[in-house]
Amino acid sequence: MTKEAKSLSPLQIALLSVAITWLLFTFHEIIKSMLNVNEYAAMPASSIATWILITDYSGAVGLISRGLISVVAVIALAMFFTKRLSQSGAIKVLRWLLVGEAIYWLALFLSGVMGFLPLGYGQTGSISMGLLVETGIPCMVESVAIPAALLVLVYQLKPGKPAKSAINWALIAGAVYVFVFWLDNTCNWLYVAIYTPKGWAYVTAYPELILSFVLTAVGLLGVAMYTAWFAKKSWNTESVQKLNHRAIGVIVTLVGVYYLWNYLTWIFWGSNGLWSDWFAWFLGHNMDLWALSLPLLGLPLLLNRNSQEKQRLSSA
């Protein structure tokens, strides 16, 4: 066992570390959601309380799905890296993992529906624009776009399908993920700035929050656009080895640094005066906070040369 562990490459160790982080964070969120799933009971009987109950339970189903596949992912990676799982077997497992991840995102569809209904808090007969921006739009987009990309990728990974088709849809799925991260976090910022009493004055009152807002609204959008450009440039690449690993490393690292920066902002500068719905959602209701571990994977990718680069260097 010791020999096998020592034979793992830095990239393999990094991928396994991120998978374990994903697993631990997901189970933390499952436990937290189970403890708070009856939060609606403390509210007066109303349509919003009913919808919170519905979305809490549907979200819990999605989290359980992600929890199960996170366990399978860690075990499968360990087996694959130690030669106990064949490549064909790993692809079969990957297809099931993608289905489980699609279920997680599909479970957010009802939250998206809730954001478009005339519920509001204390309002009747009209849509709450705050709820629409903060919940409706991002949940509706992510619960449709990500599962669609993942399920097409599952189909493209069927035996007999050309590898380039699967790679194309993996690139599309990656671009969709980054776009969703941008949309989610930007909508949370807009909700705080426009629909809460703190307003834009709160965003501009603290240098770290100005930077956080710019990194969200502009920085993550730039990463999403670069990811889309990279997907287009890499279209019809015939093998994973021929992809530009360094470009992938840049994307993965930047996304991870974004989440890490916002987490550390609260750790180092957090105070009662700094607290807002932004931090409440980012720290307390953010199922993607595990992504702060992504630099562990991004850095080995930045240092890793793909086969194409190695060939050019050897012929130089």
Please, which residues have CB within 8 angstroms of residue 285's CB and are 6 or more apart in sequence?
Answer: none
Quickly list DSSP for the chain.
-HHHHHT--HHHHHHHHHHHHHHHHHHHHHHHHHHHTTGGGGSPSSHHHHHHHHHHHHHHHHHHHHHHHHHHHHHHHHHHHTTSS-HHHHHHHHHHHHHHHHHHHHTTHHHHHHHHSS--SS--SS--HHHIIIIIHHHHHHHHHHHHHHHHHHHHTSTTS-HHHHHHHHHHHHHHHHHHHHHHHHHHHHHHHHHSTTHHHHHHHSHHHHHHHHIIIIIIHHHHHHHHHHHHHTTT-S-GGGS-HHHHHHHHHHHHHHHHHHHHHHHHH--TTT--HHHHHHHHS-TTGGGGGTHHHHHHHHHPPPHHHHHHHHH-
Residue 315 has pLDDT above 50, yes or no: no
3-17 pLDDT, tens digit each = 444 578 999 999 999
38-75 pLDDT, tens digit each = 665 666 666 777 888 889 889 999 999 999 999 999 99
Q: What's the confidence (pLDDT) of residue 260? A: 97
pLDDT band at 271 (very low <50, low <70, confident <90, very high): confident
143-198 pLDDT, tens digit each = 999 999 999 999 999 988 999 999 999 999 999 999 999 999 999 999 999 999 99
Mean residue pLDDT of the chain comes to 90
pLDDT band at 118 (very low <50, low <70, confident <90, very high): confident
Please, which residues have CB within 8 angstroms of residue 120's CB and are 6 or more apart in sequence?
Answer: 48, 126, 127, 128, 131
The CA distances from residue 143 to 110, 123, 137, 150, 169, in Å, are: 9, 26, 10, 11, 17
Q: What's the confidence (pLDDT) of residue 51? A: 86
Q: What's the confidence (pLDDT) of residue 146? A: 98
pLDDT band at 272 (very low <50, low <70, confident <90, very high): confident
pTM recorded for the entire structure: 0.91
Residue 125 has pLDDT above 70, yes or no: no
